[in-house]
Amino acid sequence: MKKKKAIALGYEGNDAPSVLASAKGVLAEKLLEIARSHDVPIYEDADLAEALSGMNAGDQIPENLFRAVAEVFAYCYRINDRLKRRLDELFQ
């Protein structure tokens, strides 16, 4: 049985996106719990997690994974935009 993997990604707009945190097993579950508690969108892609799991916090994403990581960020932006619109509707 494979251990669960979780990777936190970040992008500041200067260089390539980077790994903020990488965890396996129980620590991966804890990382996901922290993300959920802070309303951080979670994108599940086992293949991408596997490809990124050997990286350390602070490592930049390699160019061959830019497209896959861009899809993750696009998903998160869509989710955040939908949430913002719902909140705007509720509080108008």
pLDDT in tens, 62-84: 999 999 999 999 998 888 887 77
pLDDT in tens, 1-54: 678 999 999 988 778 899 999 999 999 999 999 999 998 999 999 999 999 999
As a whole number of angstroms, the distance between CA 80 and CA 41 comes to 8
Provide the whole-model pTM.
Answer: 0.80
As a whole number of angstroms, the distance between CA 50 and CA 4 comes to 9
Q: Where are the domains of the chain?
A: 5-90
Whether residue 52 contacts residue 65, with contact meaning beta carbons closer than 8 Å, is answered with yes
The CATH number for 5-90, chosen from 3.40.1690.10, 3.40.50.1000, 3.30.1370.100, 2.40.50.100, is 3.40.1690.10
Check residue 86 and give its pLDDT.
77
